[in-house]
Structure 1
Protein backbone atom coordinates (compact mmCIF):
# COMPACT_ATOMS: atom_id res chain seq x y z
CA UNK A 1 0.00 0.00 0.00
CA UNK A 2 1.38 3.43 -0.87
CA UNK A 3 2.22 6.24 1.56
CA UNK A 4 -0.79 8.34 0.51
CA UNK A 5 -3.20 5.52 1.36
CA UNK A 6 -1.42 4.95 4.68
CA UNK A 7 -1.78 8.63 5.49
CA UNK A 8 -5.50 8.54 4.65
CA UNK A 9 -5.96 5.56 6.97
CA UNK A 10 -4.05 7.31 9.74
CA UNK A 11 -5.96 10.60 9.35
CA UNK A 12 -9.28 8.78 9.53
CA UNK A 13 -8.25 6.76 12.58
CA UNK A 14 -6.86 9.89 14.23
CA UNK A 15 -10.18 11.69 13.94
CA UNK A 16 -12.29 8.60 14.79
CA UNK A 17 -10.48 5.61 16.27
CA UNK A 18 -13.80 3.76 16.54
CA UNK A 19 -14.42 3.74 12.79
CA UNK A 20 -15.33 0.32 11.49
CA UNK A 21 -12.69 -1.07 9.13
CA UNK A 22 -15.41 -1.98 6.64
CA UNK A 23 -16.65 1.63 6.60
CA UNK A 24 -13.08 2.89 6.26
CA UNK A 25 -12.42 0.58 3.32
CA UNK A 26 -15.58 1.81 1.58
CA UNK A 27 -14.56 5.45 2.17
CA UNK A 28 -11.11 4.78 0.72
CA UNK A 29 -12.33 2.56 -2.11
CA UNK A 30 -10.14 -0.44 -1.22
CA UNK A 31 -10.77 -3.94 0.09
CA UNK A 32 -11.42 -4.34 3.82
CA UNK A 33 -8.70 -7.01 4.15
CA UNK A 34 -6.19 -4.57 2.68
CA UNK A 35 -7.11 -1.91 5.27
CA UNK A 36 -7.05 -4.45 8.12
CA UNK A 37 -3.62 -5.73 7.07
CA UNK A 38 -2.26 -2.19 6.79
CA UNK A 39 -3.59 -1.19 10.22
CA UNK A 40 -2.07 -4.35 11.75
CA UNK A 41 1.26 -3.61 10.07
CA UNK A 42 1.26 0.02 11.32
CA UNK A 43 0.50 -1.23 14.85
CA UNK A 44 3.43 -3.67 14.55
CA UNK A 45 5.71 -0.85 13.32
CA UNK A 46 4.59 1.30 16.27
CA UNK A 47 3.18 3.95 13.92
CA UNK A 48 -0.22 3.39 15.53
CA UNK A 49 0.65 3.42 19.23
CA UNK A 50 -2.78 3.05 20.80
CA UNK A 51 -6.42 4.00 20.73
CA UNK A 52 -7.74 6.44 23.31
CA UNK A 53 -10.95 8.21 24.23
CA UNK A 54 -10.80 11.98 24.72
CA UNK A 55 -12.84 12.92 27.79
CA UNK A 56 -13.82 16.45 28.76
CA UNK A 57 -13.50 16.00 32.53
CA UNK A 58 -14.88 19.50 33.09
CA UNK A 59 -18.31 18.15 32.07
CA UNK A 60 -18.21 15.40 34.71
CA UNK A 61 -18.39 15.44 38.49
CA UNK A 62 -14.79 14.19 38.74
CA UNK A 63 -12.16 16.80 39.52
CA UNK A 64 -8.97 16.42 37.46
CA UNK A 65 -6.08 18.88 37.72
CA UNK A 66 -3.76 19.08 34.71
CA UNK A 67 -0.36 20.74 34.90
CA UNK A 68 2.50 21.47 32.54
CA UNK A 69 5.88 21.22 34.21
CA UNK A 70 8.91 22.79 32.57
CA UNK A 71 11.95 20.73 33.52
CA UNK A 72 15.61 21.67 33.20
CA UNK A 73 18.08 18.83 33.49
CA UNK A 74 21.79 18.14 33.45
CA UNK A 75 22.32 15.25 31.07
CA UNK A 76 24.98 12.93 32.44
CA UNK A 77 27.55 11.19 30.30
CA UNK A 78 26.20 7.91 29.02
CA UNK A 79 22.62 8.66 30.10
CA UNK A 80 21.48 11.39 27.70
CA UNK A 81 18.00 12.85 27.27
CA UNK A 82 16.30 9.61 26.19
CA UNK A 83 17.13 7.84 29.43
CA UNK A 84 15.95 10.80 31.50
CA UNK A 85 12.70 11.01 29.53
CA UNK A 86 12.18 7.29 30.01
CA UNK A 87 12.59 7.67 33.79
CA UNK A 88 10.20 10.64 33.99
CA UNK A 89 7.64 8.92 31.74
CA UNK A 90 7.42 5.90 34.04
CA UNK A 91 5.62 7.91 36.74
CA UNK A 92 1.90 7.06 36.54
CA UNK A 93 0.96 10.75 36.98
CA UNK A 94 2.75 11.67 33.73
CA UNK A 95 0.43 11.77 30.72
CA UNK A 96 2.94 13.24 28.22
CA UNK A 97 6.64 14.02 28.11
CA UNK A 98 8.38 15.98 25.33
CA UNK A 99 11.99 17.02 24.69
CA UNK A 100 11.88 20.75 23.93
CA UNK A 101 14.03 23.46 22.40
CA UNK A 102 14.34 26.79 24.19
CA UNK A 103 14.65 27.68 27.84
CA UNK A 104 13.90 24.27 29.33
CA UNK A 105 14.59 20.68 28.32
CA UNK A 106 11.34 18.80 28.91
CA UNK A 107 7.65 19.65 28.91
CA UNK A 108 5.92 17.18 31.22
CA UNK A 109 2.13 17.01 31.47
CA UNK A 110 0.65 15.38 34.55
CA UNK A 111 -2.79 14.83 36.02
CA UNK A 112 -3.79 14.69 39.65
CA UNK A 113 -6.80 14.90 41.93
CA UNK A 114 -5.82 18.30 43.33
CA UNK A 115 -3.23 21.07 43.06
CA UNK A 116 -1.73 19.75 46.28
CA UNK A 117 -1.31 16.29 44.73
CA UNK A 118 0.42 17.81 41.69
CA UNK A 119 2.69 19.86 43.95
CA UNK A 120 3.49 16.75 45.99
CA UNK A 121 4.46 14.90 42.78
CA UNK A 122 6.86 17.70 41.80
CA UNK A 123 8.32 17.99 45.29
CA UNK A 124 8.55 14.32 46.28
CA UNK A 125 9.17 12.53 42.99
CA UNK A 126 10.31 14.73 40.12
CA UNK A 127 12.61 17.23 41.81
CA UNK A 128 14.40 14.51 43.79
CA UNK A 129 15.88 12.93 40.66
CA UNK A 130 19.65 13.60 40.54
CA UNK A 131 19.75 15.20 37.10
CA UNK A 132 16.84 17.65 37.62
CA UNK A 133 18.13 21.24 37.88
CA UNK A 134 14.81 23.06 38.17
CA UNK A 135 11.10 22.87 37.49
CA UNK A 136 8.33 25.39 36.83
CA UNK A 137 4.74 24.22 37.22
CA UNK A 138 1.85 25.74 35.27
CA UNK A 139 -1.70 24.66 36.08
CA UNK A 140 -4.23 24.35 33.25
CA UNK A 141 -7.15 26.58 34.19
CA UNK A 142 -9.46 25.68 31.32
CA UNK A 143 -9.18 23.54 28.19
CA UNK A 144 -10.59 24.98 24.99
CA UNK A 145 -9.16 22.47 22.53
CA UNK A 146 -7.48 19.13 23.14
CA UNK A 147 -6.04 16.74 20.54
CA UNK A 148 -7.69 18.78 17.78
CA UNK A 149 -11.14 18.65 19.37
CA UNK A 150 -12.97 21.81 20.46
CA UNK A 151 -14.05 21.36 24.08
CA UNK A 152 -15.46 24.79 24.76
CA UNK A 153 -19.08 25.51 23.95
CA UNK A 154 -19.91 29.19 23.92
CA UNK A 155 -22.78 29.83 26.32
CA UNK A 156 -25.77 31.52 24.74
CA UNK A 157 -27.06 34.67 26.37
CA UNK A 158 -30.47 33.64 27.68
CA UNK A 159 -31.35 36.96 29.24
CA UNK A 160 -34.61 38.49 28.12
CA UNK A 161 -34.47 41.65 26.06
CA UNK A 162 -35.79 44.59 28.01
CA UNK A 163 -37.04 47.56 26.04
CA UNK A 164 -38.08 50.96 27.27
Structure 2
Protein backbone atom coordinates (compact mmCIF):
# COMPACT_ATOMS: atom_id res chain seq x y z
CA UNK A 1 0.00 0.00 0.00
CA UNK A 2 2.87 2.39 0.77
CA UNK A 3 5.06 1.09 -2.02
CA UNK A 4 7.75 0.27 0.54
CA UNK A 5 9.17 -2.99 1.78
CA UNK A 6 8.43 -4.14 5.32
CA UNK A 7 12.05 -3.49 6.39
CA UNK A 8 11.90 0.08 5.03
CA UNK A 9 8.70 0.82 6.94
CA UNK A 10 10.20 -0.66 10.11
CA UNK A 11 13.30 1.54 9.67
CA UNK A 12 11.17 4.67 9.09
CA UNK A 13 9.11 3.97 12.20
CA UNK A 14 12.27 3.44 14.24
CA UNK A 15 13.68 6.78 13.04
CA UNK A 16 10.41 8.57 13.86
CA UNK A 17 10.49 7.07 17.36
CA UNK A 18 14.10 8.21 17.86
CA UNK A 19 13.31 11.74 16.62
CA UNK A 20 10.32 12.03 18.95
CA UNK A 21 7.77 12.20 16.13
CA UNK A 22 6.11 9.04 17.44
CA UNK A 23 5.98 9.57 21.19
CA UNK A 24 4.28 6.40 22.38
CA UNK A 25 1.79 3.67 21.66
CA UNK A 26 -1.11 3.48 24.07
CA UNK A 27 -4.31 1.69 24.96
CA UNK A 28 -7.59 3.49 25.58
CA UNK A 29 -9.45 1.86 28.48
CA UNK A 30 -13.19 2.22 28.97
CA UNK A 31 -13.07 2.28 32.78
CA UNK A 32 -16.85 2.07 33.08
CA UNK A 33 -17.00 -1.21 31.15
CA UNK A 34 -13.97 -2.51 33.06
CA UNK A 35 -15.92 -1.96 36.28
CA UNK A 36 -13.26 0.34 37.72
CA UNK A 37 -14.40 3.48 39.52
CA UNK A 38 -12.37 6.53 38.47
CA UNK A 39 -13.11 10.21 38.94
CA UNK A 40 -11.95 12.73 36.35
CA UNK A 41 -12.02 16.49 36.59
CA UNK A 42 -11.21 19.35 34.25
CA UNK A 43 -9.71 22.23 36.18
CA UNK A 44 -9.42 25.72 34.75
CA UNK A 45 -6.43 27.47 36.30
CA UNK A 46 -5.69 31.21 36.30
CA UNK A 47 -1.98 31.97 36.77
CA UNK A 48 0.39 34.92 36.68
CA UNK A 49 2.79 34.39 33.75
CA UNK A 50 6.48 34.67 34.66
CA UNK A 51 9.04 36.94 33.02
CA UNK A 52 10.99 35.21 30.21
CA UNK A 53 9.16 31.87 30.59
CA UNK A 54 5.48 32.88 30.44
CA UNK A 55 3.26 29.97 31.44
CA UNK A 56 5.78 27.21 30.71
CA UNK A 57 7.36 26.95 34.17
CA UNK A 58 4.04 26.72 36.00
CA UNK A 59 2.66 24.28 33.41
CA UNK A 60 5.72 22.08 33.95
CA UNK A 61 5.24 22.07 37.72
CA UNK A 62 1.63 21.02 37.21
CA UNK A 63 2.19 18.30 34.59
CA UNK A 64 4.77 16.55 36.79
CA UNK A 65 2.10 15.49 39.31
CA UNK A 66 1.09 11.84 38.71
CA UNK A 67 -2.63 12.70 39.05
CA UNK A 68 -2.42 15.01 36.02
CA UNK A 69 -3.43 13.50 32.67
CA UNK A 70 -3.03 16.62 30.51
CA UNK A 71 -2.23 20.34 30.69
CA UNK A 72 -3.27 22.75 27.95
CA UNK A 73 -2.58 26.49 27.54
CA UNK A 74 -5.80 28.12 26.36
CA UNK A 75 -7.33 31.47 25.61
CA UNK A 76 -10.21 32.97 27.57
CA UNK A 77 -10.84 33.75 31.22
CA UNK A 78 -8.46 31.05 32.48
CA UNK A 79 -4.96 30.24 31.28
CA UNK A 80 -4.50 26.50 31.73
CA UNK A 81 -6.85 23.55 31.49
CA UNK A 82 -5.73 20.62 33.62
CA UNK A 83 -7.27 17.14 33.47
CA UNK A 84 -6.78 15.00 36.56
CA UNK A 85 -7.87 11.49 37.52
CA UNK A 86 -8.29 9.97 40.95
CA UNK A 87 -10.00 7.13 42.79
CA UNK A 88 -12.60 9.40 44.41
CA UNK A 89 -13.95 12.94 44.47
CA UNK A 90 -12.24 13.37 47.83
CA UNK A 91 -8.87 12.39 46.34
CA UNK A 92 -9.27 14.84 43.44
CA UNK A 93 -10.43 17.61 45.81
CA UNK A 94 -7.40 16.98 48.04
CA UNK A 95 -5.09 17.26 45.01
CA UNK A 96 -6.64 20.59 44.04
CA UNK A 97 -6.64 22.12 47.52
CA UNK A 98 -3.28 20.82 48.75
CA UNK A 99 -1.14 20.64 45.62
CA UNK A 100 -2.54 22.64 42.70
CA UNK A 101 -4.05 25.71 44.38
CA UNK A 102 -1.00 26.17 46.62
CA UNK A 103 1.48 26.52 43.74
CA UNK A 104 3.04 29.98 43.70
CA UNK A 105 1.52 32.23 40.99
CA UNK A 106 -1.71 30.18 40.78
CA UNK A 107 -4.44 32.78 41.31
CA UNK A 108 -7.59 30.69 41.12
CA UNK A 109 -9.11 27.42 39.94
CA UNK A 110 -12.51 26.30 38.70
CA UNK A 111 -13.23 22.58 38.79
CA UNK A 112 -15.61 20.64 36.54
CA UNK A 113 -16.12 16.97 37.45
CA UNK A 114 -16.66 14.64 34.49
CA UNK A 115 -20.02 12.92 34.80
CA UNK A 116 -19.89 10.79 31.65
CA UNK A 117 -17.60 10.39 28.64
CA UNK A 118 -19.19 9.94 25.24
CA UNK A 119 -16.10 10.16 23.04
CA UNK A 120 -12.40 10.11 23.90
CA UNK A 121 -9.37 10.39 21.62
CA UNK A 122 -11.63 10.00 18.58
CA UNK A 123 -13.25 6.82 19.90
CA UNK A 124 -16.98 6.70 20.66
CA UNK A 125 -17.53 5.01 24.02
CA UNK A 126 -20.57 2.81 24.65
CA UNK A 127 -21.63 3.04 21.00
CA UNK A 128 -24.86 1.08 20.79
CA UNK A 129 -26.79 0.19 17.70
CA UNK A 130 -29.90 2.32 18.00
CA UNK A 131 -33.32 1.09 17.01
CA UNK A 132 -34.18 3.55 14.24
CA UNK A 133 -37.81 2.44 13.88
CA UNK A 134 -40.44 5.08 14.41
CA UNK A 135 -42.11 4.89 17.81
CA UNK A 136 -45.86 4.41 17.52
CA UNK A 137 -47.96 5.18 20.58
CA UNK A 138 -51.48 3.74 21.00
Within-5 A mapping of 1:2-13 = none
Aligned length: 134
CA distance in 2, matches of 1:44, 1:154: 40
Q: Does 1:118 align with 2:92?
A: yes
The answer to which structure has the higher helix fraction is 1
Q: Does 1:105 align with 2:79?
A: yes
TM-score, scaled to structure 1: 0.75
Maintained 8 Å contact 1:89/1:96: yes
TM-score, scaled to structure 2: 0.89
* Deviation by residue 1:126-149 (Cα, 9 ceiling, x = unmatched): 000011011001011111100000
CA distance in 1, matches of 2:75, 2:83: 16
Match of 1:63 among 24, 37, 42: 37
Q: Which runs of 5+ in 1 are unaligned?
A: 1-26, 158-162
Runs of 4+ in 1 over 3 A off after TM superposition: 154-157
Within-5 A mapping of 1:67-82 = 67-82=41-56
Q: Kindly state the Cα deviation for residue 155 of structure 1 after the two structures are TM-superposed.
A: 7.3
Q: Does 1:40 align with 2:10?
A: no
Of structures 1 and 2, the one scoring higher in RCO (CA 8 A, sep 6+) is 2
Q: Which residue of 2 aligns with 1:53?
A: 27
Q: Which runs of 5+ in 2 are unaligned?
A: 132-136
Q: Which residue of 1 aligns with 2:134?
A: none
Maintained 8 Å contact 1:71/1:133: yes
Q: Does 1:93 align with 2:61?
A: no
What is the RMSD of the two structures over their aligned residues, measured on CA atoms?
A: 1.9
Q: Which residue of 2 aligns with 1:9?
A: none
Q: Does 1:150 align with 2:124?
A: yes
Q: Which residue of 2 aligns with 1:11?
A: none
CA distance in 2, matches of 1:78, 1:151: 42
